[in-house]
């Protein structure tokens, strides 16, 4: 019972300063493990009702993370050390795996191999490669400053339309705690932006001065798409999002959440070449190394 009541006493309920309680209670979402849903949907609400206090607006029971098909347990000795994983791959990568791989509310299987493969496919190949290639080309072709004189290409509007519509889809899934689905929609934009590079072939445009305007348009669109991607990544990969924004010189005013509704906010100047955000991992060597941890 003390643990339950601590949800509001920790916020200052019953103390001289209850400002945090007044600000944060009732909780919009009370997130608990699925094994204790009964306590938090019967006993805890009964306690609050007895005190004539408001109830949480929603109680959500999340699933378990399974290892080899069974629940992780200290008694079984099958715990995965998150500190080791975060030190090796970064907090953003581990967070991404858990949110993308496991539909929230369901049980999910964990393995080192699945984690590494997800990092390689999504973060290294798709996202990291997009940022590295795009900023490298801006540096190579325009020394980091994209000309304002731009000529549209036939492939622009498809990319722009998807970029402008992705925020609403991500928000819809976030509101329903469907984080895996939200990331799926966001990485559709990442994939489409990579495809845009293949469609426009900027390395071919760069061979002729007549195509400088088109090349400038392509480079700008790539960076502007990355700006929107960085904004929408913020709840999931905050450190990575900040790194992308820094490389494309996107300040705070054009990287707040609502800025993802708008296209064309980036200046296109001061863009710097990015190092790989997530270096590709040799799966066999890494699995062997983890066995020795």
Number of domains present in the structure of the chain? 2
Q: Using 50, 70 and 90 to split pLDDT, how confident is the model at 5?
A: low
Q: Using one digit for the tens of pLDDT, what is the confidence trace for 48-94? A: 999 899 999 988 887 676 666 555 555 555 567 788 889 989 999 99
Same domain as 226, residue 153: yes
119 located within any domain? no
Distance CA 271, CA 274 (A): 9
> Is 186 a domain residue?
yes
**Looking at the domain assignment, is residue 98 inside a domain?**
no
Q: Is the pLDDT of residue 181 over 90?
A: yes
Q: What phi and psi, each to the nearest 5 degrees, are found at residue 108?
A: -140, 145
Residues 52, 132: one domain?
A: no
180, 116 Cβ separation under 8 angstroms: no
Its domain, for residue 157, covers 126-261
Q: How many Å apart are CA 16 and CA 14, to the nearest integer?
A: 7
In a domain, 44, yes or no: yes
Please indicate, yes or no, whether residues 58 and 138 belong to a single structural domain of this protein. Answer: no
C-alpha closest to that of 197 among 216, 222, 232: 222
User: Strands 108-110, 70-71: parallel, antiparallel or unpaired by DSSP?
Assistant: unpaired
Per DSSP, the residues of the chain read: -HHHHHHHHTTTTTSS--HHHHHH-S-S-EEEEGGGHHIIIIIHHHHHHHTT-PPPS-EEEE-PEEETTEE--TTTT----HHHHHHHH-HHHHHHHHHHHS-TTS-EEE-HHHHHHHIIIIIIIIIIHHHHHHHHHHHHHHTT---S-----TTHHHHHHHHHHHHHHHHHHHHTT-HHHHHHHHHHHHHHHHHHHHHH-HHHHTT-GGGHHHHHHHHHHHHHHHHHHHHHHTTT-HHHHHHHHHHTT--GGGSSGGGGG-SS-----S--PPPPSS----HHHHHHHHHT-
Nearest to 123 by CA among 260, 239, 291: 239
Contact 102, 63 (CB under 8 A): yes
If we measure between CA atoms, which residue out of 272, 275, 267, 274 comes closest to residue 139?
272
Domain edge (last residue) among 20, 38, 62: 62
Position 244 in a domain: yes
CA distance 203 to 137: 8
Is 138 in the same domain as 239?
yes
Contact 197, 135 (CB under 8 A): no
Instruction: Report the C-alpha gap between 21 and 57 in whole angstroms.
Output: 15
**For residue 31, what pLDDT band results from cuts at 50, 70 and 90?**
confident
Model confidence at 158, pLDDT cuts 50, 70, 90, reads: very high
Q: Are residues 139 and 256 in the same domain?
A: yes
pTM above 0.85, yes or no: yes
Residue 106 has pLDDT above 80, yes or no: no
Q: CB burial class (10 A; 0-12, 13-18, 19+) of residue 252?
A: exposed
Residue 77: its pLDDT value, please?
Answer: 54
Distance of alpha carbon 170 from the chain centroid: 10
225-255 confidence digits (pLDDT tens): 999 999 999 999 999 999 999 999 998 889 9
Residue 84: the pLDDT is: 85
Q: What percent of the chain has pLDDT over 90?
A: 63
Residue 174: is its pLDDT beyond 90? yes
Q: Which of 15, 31, 62 is the last residue of a domain?
A: 62
Q: Which range among 9-13, 62-66, 165-169, 173-177 has the greatest average pLDDT?
A: 165-169
- Give the mean pLDDT of 123-152: 97
Are residues 88 and 110 in contact, defined by beta-carbon separation less than 8 angstroms? Answer: no
Q: Chain-wide mean pLDDT for the chain?
A: 90
Higher local confidence (pLDDT), 68 or 279: 279
Domain-located, residue 180:
yes
CATH number at residue 130: 1.10.730.10
Name the band, by pLDDT with cuts 50, 70 and 90, for residue 119. Answer: very high
* Angle between the N-to-C axes of helices 212-233 and 238-247, in degrees from 0 to 180, rounded to the nearest 10: 160
Residue 256 lies in a domain: yes
Task: State whether 55 and 162 are in the same domain.
Answer: no
Inside any domain, residue 57: yes
């Amino acid at each position: 019972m003390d643990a339950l009541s601590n949800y509001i006493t920790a916020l200052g309920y019953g103390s001289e300063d209850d400002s945090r309680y007044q600000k944060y209670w009732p909780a919009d979402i009370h997130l608990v493990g699925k094994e204790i849903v009964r306590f938090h949907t019967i006993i805890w609400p009964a306690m609050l009702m007895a005190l004539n206090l408001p109830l949480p607006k929603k109680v959500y029971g999340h699933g378990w993370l399974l290892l080899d098909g069974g629940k992780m347990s200290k008694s079984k000795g099958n715990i995965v050390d998150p500190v080791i994983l975060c030190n090796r791959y970064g907090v953003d990568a581990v967070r991404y795996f858990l949110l993308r791989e496991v539909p929230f509310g369901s049980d999910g299987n964990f393995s080192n191999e699945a984690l590494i493969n997800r990092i390689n496919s999504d973060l290294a190949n798709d996202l990291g490669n997009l940022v590295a290639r795009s900023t490298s080309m801006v540096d190579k072709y325009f020394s980091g400053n994209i000309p304002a004189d731009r000529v549209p290409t036939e492939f622009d509007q498809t990319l722009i339309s998807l970029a402008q519509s992705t925020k609403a889809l991500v928000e819809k899934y976030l509101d329903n705690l469907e984080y895996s689905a939200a990331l799926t929609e966001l990485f559709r934009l990442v994939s489409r932006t990579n495809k845009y590079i293949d469609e426009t072939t900027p390395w071919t445009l760069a061979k002729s001065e007549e195509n400088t305007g088109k090349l400038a348009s392509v480079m700008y669109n790539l960076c502007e798409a990355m700006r929107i991607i960085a904004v929408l990544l913020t709840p999931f990969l905050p450190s990575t999002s900040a790194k992308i924004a820094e490389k494309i010189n996107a300040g705070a005013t054009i990287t707040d959440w609502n800025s993802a509704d708008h296209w064309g906010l980036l200046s296109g100047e001061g863009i710097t070449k990015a190092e790989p955000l997530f270096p590709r991992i040799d799966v066999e060597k890494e699995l062997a190394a983890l066995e020795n941890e």
